[in-house]
Amino acid sequence: MPGGAIPGQDQALRPKIVVALYNYAAMETGDLSLKKNAEYEVIDNSQEHWWKVRDSQGNVGFIPSNYVRQKELIGLQQYEPHPHVKHYHIKKNSRGEFYLSEKHCCSSIPDLINYHKHNSGGLASRLKTSPCDRQAPATAGLSHGKNILFCVH
């Protein structure tokens, strides 16, 4: 069956599988470290910021919920339309050079990206960041059981 569905099985009964978008090092007992691109089964997502999950070795612990995405949604979220995002196709000419605009060719894809980070070169604007440049988001507190209180005097 596509997607591993069992005929007649209610979707709500299937385990929710998430994929880590970033590495995360467990900070407290009860937390679970995440490895980027690894899959985890969600056991409890009743807390907004910290979910209890099980890894492939059977280890259970809490993880920051903003470090993961539901497996079925990963591909869809990468291509969601956004008003400030332009998608370009990298092409290759007969000389083996890469380009987005035929007037600006480069010998490698990293060179092409670097060129367009500094020059618009026929694009709507220069490249601001690449998907590889994204930093891991902040977690809500230091751990699932740790709240930070600030006192202002």
26, 43 contact by CB (below 8 A): no
Which runs of consecutive H residues, i.e. helices, occur in the chain?
A: 74-78, 109-118
Question: What residue ranges do the domains of the chain occupy?
Answer: 14-76, 81-129
Residue located via tokens 């937390």: 31
Quick: pLDDT tens for 40-98: 999 999 988 999 999 999 999 999 999 998 887 655 444 445 555 666 778 889 999 98
Q: Which fold has domain 14-76?
A: SH3 type barrels. (2.30.30)
140, 50 contact by CB (below 8 A): yes
- pTM, rounded to two decimals: 0.51
User: Would the CATH topology of 14-76 be identical to that of 81-129?
Assistant: no
CA angle 4, 10, 3 (to 5 degrees): 15
CATH superfamily of 81-129: SH2 domain (3.30.505.10)
- Which amino acid is residue 136, in one-letter code? A
